[in-house]
Homo-oligomer: A and B are copies of this chain.
Amino acid sequence: MTDTPHPHADPDCRAVSELLSRVGDKWTVLIVKALEAKPRGRGCRFNELKREVGGISQQMLTRTLRTLERDGMVARTVHHTVPPSVEYALTDLGHSLAVPVMALADWTFAHLPQIHANRAAYDGALGEAA
């Protein structure tokens, strides 16, 4: 089918969708949310972050933080202390991302009950139809 290479489909489209899939990722959103909750200038330790996000595996946290760091949204600071502690903090770019991300998180929180009701109704209708 070769995917209908319309004149409309500009190459930016793929780049935007790729970036969107990172930025809108479940764990990214939760991490940015956790980091944004911290007072500005203060970072968050690795395991502290893991505790706050809740339900994330170490591997996924490491991986997501690396991506965020690569994209310049979080800054990673290693303190060469006795147990080498690592601090993660949002950069300016990260804080600017936090604005739409928090808006999405707020929407999600606000509409949670309604969506659960919709799902129940949908599944109920399916059950009756059968």
Could you list which residues of chain A lie within 8 angstroms of chain B, going by C-beta atoms? 3-4, 6, 8-9, 12-17, 19-21, 23-26, 29-30, 51-52, 54-55, 69-72, 93, 96-97, 99-101, 103-109, 111-112, 114-116, 118-119, 121-123
CA distance A93 to B101 in the complex (A): 18
Pairwise interchain contact A16-B105, C-beta atoms closer than 8 A: yes
Chain A interface SS verdict (over half)? helix
**Hey, which chain B residues are within 8 Å of A71, CB to CB?**
115, 118-119
Are the C-beta atoms of A3 and B115 separated by less than 8 Å? no
> B108 contacts A16, CB within 8 Å?
yes
Are A96 and B111 in touch, CB under 8 angstroms?
A: yes
What number of copies of this chain does the assembly contain? 2
Decide: A54 near B115, CB < 8 A? Known: A26-B20, A26-B21, A104-B100. Answer: no
Known contacts A3-B55, A6-B51: A72-B118 contact under CB 8 Å: yes
Residues of B within 8 A of A105 (CB): 16, 20
Q: Which residues of B contact A12 (CB under 8 A)?
A: 109, 112
